[in-house]
Amino acid sequence: METIIRKAGKKDSKAIHNLIKELAIFEKEPDSVKISVLDIENHGFGSNPLFECIVAEISNKVVGMALYYPRYSTWRGPTFHLEDLIVSEKYKGKGIGTKLYSAFIRQSYNAGVQRIEWNVLNWNTPAVNFYKNSGATVLDDWDTVQMHRLEMEKYLNSLKES
């Protein structure tokens, strides 16, 4: 089976959404996906896209993706953040993830970014080892910090009370 790696289009939004839901299940967070197919269409393929995406396709079926967006490093300059690199479970172990990873790195390099970065769950040993073996540095001394909309609202409300 030939794997085609290409830039995603709006028509891929449902497949992208399905892969995101599949990843959430793998990461033991099946109820955490709150975005819809329409959100993906609007946020990725509207007039002001918030992300870019590369897909892997076999026999006209999207079986993997690399979704990323631009950031800026105050130390390095332009950066791309790889939000998710996903290969559908049925297609893992066939080199598709490596092809997507390589396409993302090539796209980043050609775009002139100075750094690419992403997160990996520490219990996902195959991914951690894959990244280390590719020459990437897995930082053990940085913790990811997140604040969701509800927490933002609570924080902002606490400022009003002060």
Model confidence over 1-18: pLDDT tens digits? 799 999 999 999 999 999
Average pLDDT value for the chain: 94
36-65 burial: b if 16+ Cβ within 10 Å, else e = eeeebbbebbeeeeebbbbbbbbeeebbbb
67: nearest Cα among 47, 38, 87, 89: 87
Instruction: Give start and end residues of each alpha helix (H) in the chain.
Output: 13-26, 37-45, 96-111, 125-133, 149-161
Domains of the chain listed by start with CATH number: 3-118 (3.40.630.30)
The bridge status of strand 52-58 relative to strand 61-73 is antiparallel
pTM, two decimal places = 0.90
Per-residue pLDDT of 74-86, as tens digits, reads 999 999 999 999 9
Q: Pick the catalytic residue from 68, 69, 101, 131.
A: 131
| 155 is a catalytic site residue | no
